[in-house]
Amino acid sequence: MKISIGSDHAGLRLKRFLIDKFKDRGLEFIDVGTHTEESCDYPDFASAAAGKVRDGAADKGIVICGSGIGVSIAANKIKGIRAALCFNEYMAEMSRRHNDANVLALGARVIGDDLAAAIVDRWISTGFEGGRHQKRLDKISALE
């Protein structure tokens, strides 16, 4: 599975942690930046990561900033993206099962490393249920 991943300066440490944590699990990461701790703008990296998903270069995406709010808003502006801001494993599971979220947003200043890893693990291992949920996704797509 290919995952595009991007963060601003606030999410850089967590991004690096997650890449290192999951690199031996058969995941290929496309790191769209940032690569320094210098202050930068989260929309640049959220849109780059989400764009890789939209264009088919990545299967899923992960975006990270301090709270996760900014990157989730920015990623959701990209057509075809369903970014879900998750703070626990249940939210991650439901975002996949019911919403077929293709981008996961995380807040590096809100959750710790172990919880972030558990959220990512649940998110990448959960599939979409389809069925009654598909018509809801179709309605969301129609809004675009």
117: nearest Cα among 6, 10, 12, 15: 15
Q: What is the largest CA-CA distance in the chain?
A: 45
Is the Cβ–Cβ distance between 53 and 103 less than 8 Å? Answer: yes
Catalytic residue among 9, 40, 65, 86, which? 65
- State the sign of the Cα–Cα–Cα–Cα dihedral 58, 121, 72, 62: negative
DSSP letter for 99, please.
T
Q: What contacts 107, CB < 8 A, 6 or more positions away?
A: 64, 65, 66, 67, 68, 69, 85, 87
The 10 Å Cβ neighbour count of residue 100 is: 18
Instruction: Assess whether 9 carries a catalytic annotation.
Output: no
Instruction: Assess whether 133 carries a catalytic annotation.
Output: no
Catalytic residues, by residue number, are 65, 98
